[in-house]
Amino acid sequence: MGQDLRSYLDLIKQNHPEDFLVVSRAVDPAYEITAITVKLEQEAKRRPILLFEKVKDTKFPVLTNLHAGRARLALAIHAKSEEMQRVYLRAMEKPIQPKVVSKAPVKEVVLTNNKVNLYDLPQILHHQEDAGAYITAAISFAKDPNGDTWNCAYNRLMIKGRDTTSIHLTQAKHLWEFYRAAEARGEALPVAFAIGVNPAIALGCFAIGSIDEDERAIIGGLLGEPLELVKCETSDVLVPAHAELILEGEILPHERTAEGPFGEFTGYSLGERQREVLQVRAITHRRNAIFQDITVGHLDHLMLSTTPIEANLYRAVRAMVPTVRAVRVPAPFTCYVSIEQRISGQAKNAILAVLGADLYMKRVVVVDHDVDIFNDRQVNWAIATRCQPDRDIAIISNARGSDLDPSTKEDGYTAKWGVDATAKPSLATYTPRHRIPKEVWQRINLKDFAGK
């Protein structure tokens, strides 16, 4: 399989044709694409990749729901579903550096100056409260203006004009730091955005680590080969050579514009904010390019981010508690951790490790290894029977968190809490759980008592 989106789609069509649905009927990008995707998921219990061939007022077909299947994401990184975290951790521990190429499919069409027109792209409205058309599958590529560090991440773009968008930069994240450094010098920050990529690239750009950890090398680890990059037409920014489409531009210093409301992964349509301004200098794309959309706030979005976040948090907890068994992110800003607690206090250390490893994490629950964190009923049982609120709940006030959390009074200024739901003083000495004798459990065959 190559590094491009198309070879991945060919693999899906050959091996899992039921996971690929072509919609040949014309659709309106205002709400209909999202409505069809969500209606299939909720009413038909289907979550196929969707390719809309005819989208009103654009020549670009729209692909969405690419990431809404765990097995599909695993296929992109040559893994089984149950091995995704292990494979992701291996890529983080053994990254492969990218390589620069001189020619690239994404350069087949080059548009600059007055040929740049963002209104030629699909003008997708996702949810009722959205203030305008958004590009949701844009992966940013940028370099630290004060050094050689690179960063790639997802950033939503609201189309504001033929060559202008707003950009949502999460405060204290790496691209925000790059921009602040450039803005302090009165300079624009060169940046480019890849749209329509192999899911391995999408997964890799969600890696969360120190600011000097290169996500492009983690992507290489996931691909099993160096990510091929090509230089932009209007800057020295390097972008994936096999992307469907690239937006080249710069984030302007000291300029802000109204952005939002927009329906986010939290399930809420967050209100208008003042955001930074992106000036688009060039658009390059493949011939007959496919425009990728992410159905924000639904499985397409949520499943893509979960595996990278869980792998990063597992790595962070493992550094503090080597006997960590599993990590799960079941909901926005929430993490469950299972540990085999060898000495008192390790559960608290796990809580601190999670809160320190991910800016967005707000609630952490730590349980013993006999609790299945992928079973919400068991986690709630542990909280109810192994936790005393005045002893086992830690609250941290006045911390930085997500500016997408609607419960905060000030964007991203939040409280965080951890719940130690482990047995005290140890699982071995705690009141025993009731059990059916093992030999009885093993000898009972339900067919003997309840038929087929």
Higher per-residue confidence, 229 vs 404: 229
Percent of the chain's residues with pLDDT above 70: 99
N residues, the chain:
452
Strand partners, 45: none
What is the four-CA torsion angle of 416, 354, 376, 324, rounded to 10 degrees? Answer: -150
3-state secondary structure 401-445: CCCCCCCCCECCEEEEEEEEECCCCCCCCCCCCCCCCHHHHHHCC
Contact criterion met (CB below 8 Å) for 423 and 368 = yes
Mean residue pLDDT of the chain comes to 93
Q: In the chain, what are the domains?
A: 5-295 (2.30.110.10), 321-421 (3.40.1670.10)
Position 1 scores a pLDDT of 63
Nearest CA to 237 among 353, 112, 100, 73? Answer: 100
Digit-coded pLDDT (tens) for 149-175: 999 999 999 999 999 999 999 877 889
Tell me whether the omega of the peptide bond preceding residue 122 falls within 30 degrees of 0, making it cis: no
Digit-coded pLDDT (tens) for 49-95: 999 999 999 999 999 999 998 899 999 999 998 899 999 999 999 99
pLDDT at 211 over 80: no
What is the four-CA torsion angle of 353, 359, 364, 370, rounded to 10 degrees? Answer: -60
Strand partners, 275: 257
Contact criterion met (CB below 8 Å) for 249 and 280 = yes
Q: In Å, how far from its chain's centre is CA 291?
A: 18
Position 209 scores a pLDDT of 72
Residue 108's pLDDT band, with cuts at 50, 70 and 90, is: very high
Please compute the mean of the pLDDT values over residues 355-362 and round it to a whole number: 91
Residue 406's pLDDT band, with cuts at 50, 70 and 90, is: confident
Contact criterion met (CB below 8 Å) for 304 and 202 = yes
Position 5 scores a pLDDT of 97
Digit-coded pLDDT (tens) for 41-60: 999 889 999 999 999 999 99
pLDDT at 280 over 90: yes
Contact criterion met (CB below 8 Å) for 145 and 177 = no
